Amino acid sequence: MGAGRRALITTAVAVVCGVTVLAAPGTAFASPTPTPSTTPSTTASATPVSNKDLEAVRTKLDKLYHDAAVATDAYNAAEEQAKKQSAEIVELARKIVQGQAKLDELKDRAGAAARAQYRTGGLPDEARLMLSDNPQEFLDGAGRVLQGERATKGLIAELTRTQQDLKQYTADASAQWQQLEKNRQAKATAKKKVTAQIAAAEKLESHLEKQEKERLAKLEQQAALKAQTAWLDSGVLKDISGKASTAGKAAVAYATAQLGKPYEWGAEGPSSYDCSGLTSQAWASAGDPIPRTSQEQWKQLKHVDVKDMRPGDLIIYFDDASHVAMYIGDGAIIHAPRPGRTVTIAGAGSMPILGIVRPDA
């Protein structure tokens, strides 16, 4: 039975590797069915999974949840763009309605001017002057006609501009709609990847007994502690003495108030968060809105040296900027780690640091 369980875990890890590559929802594990035990004592004496096997599980889980985080960032980016494009389409639609109303008004005015010109345009000016009983009245009228002609030319020019504006608004709305559809497709693709990675991780963990899950949790803690210790042993904290800004204090206070709330991919509060949902909402509450995703936070916010880090700054993790946390001082962070976990405090050096950004630089 013990050998069978070890084989089960090994098989599960191997199959999850395939799921990672395919990223296809609904992929099932081809796990062997254990041979039924003949006596209760056989089950009770099952050999536990070795630390080596559990370490393989931990490594694979890290990879699955990392890939889920990358896909979550892609989903959030597509969602943010879709919201922006939807708002722009609404604004363009408003401009089109207003432009059409203006165009109708200009056409009515142009039609009235054309009808007036037709009623007075039968004879040349010289003939009408000779036939007029009141030459001065004619000359005054001729001046008004000239002003009217100039106004008509201006009216026609405005009519042309309005038609051109309407054409451009319509083209812009069409382009935004096409981009909106692309981002909806990108969201759907990213959602499939996220759910596939998380489902694979949950399936892998489901093969572990309670005691093995506890041992796995200890292995994760040990790995995080080892990384944090190495970071602290580098002497980095002795150079960090920055004091939080007023906005930074407000952002830290917001993040601290979310401790214990569950991680949920794509969520930005108030009951659950993903990593960048937490940091973006914390800084929005402090009066400094920042990009929604960890990758855009890394791209757009000011980079600062680790030695200049202060509470409220954001630490970006991994080479692909797929995770973000908020520095709170004394070598600690607040972050929303991954599915199945809650917003928590951890060591700032427990994950590979890409760099530091400052929202209120």
Q: Which residues are catalytic?
A: 275, 323, 335
DSSP string, 183-214: HHHHHHHHHHHHHHHHHHHHHHHHTS-HHHHH
Tokens for 100, please give them: 């059409």
**112 HSE (CA, 13 A, CB side):** 9
Q: Show the tokens assigned to 319.
A: 């080479």
Task: Specify the long-range contacts of residues 245-249, CB closer than 8 Å, at least 24 apart.
Answer: 245/310, 245/312, 245/360, 247/283, 247/286, 247/287, 247/288, 247/312, 247/359, 247/360, 248/286, 248/310, 248/311, 248/312, 248/313, 248/360, 249/311, 249/312
Decide if 334 contacts 326 (C-beta within 8 A): yes
- Residue 5: CB atoms within 10 Å: 19
State the burial class of residue 237 (Cβ atoms within 10 Å of its Cβ: 0-12, 13-18, 19+): middle
Q: Position 139: which residue type? A: L
